[in-house]
Amino acid sequence: MEIHAAQPKKDDGELAEMGTKYFARDLLQITGMAIEIVSIGM
């Protein structure tokens, strides 16, 4: 915990940005899979 607190804020911002990118990508994949499943069901 102490090591994390000692890091500069810039790293936290980059980490959050990366997390957002990965989250958006995963969300797109999940949405795409859901659409495929619905299409197959119809």
Q: Cβ contacts of residue 37 below 8 Å, gap of 6+?
A: none
Containing structural domain, residue 16: 2-41
Residue type, 13: G
User: Domain tally for the chain?
Assistant: 1
Q: CA dist 3 to 16, 25, 33, 34, Å? A: 17, 29, 39, 40
Q: Which two tokens stand for residue 34?
A: 């859901």
Report d(CA 23, CA 34) in Å as an integer: 16
Q: What is the pLDDT of residues 1-42, one digit of tens each?
A: 455 555 556 667 777 787 888 888 999 999 999 999 888 887
pLDDT (0 to 100) of residue 15: 73
Report d(CA 29, CA 8) in Å as an integer: 33
Instruction: Note if the pTM is more than 0.75.
Output: no
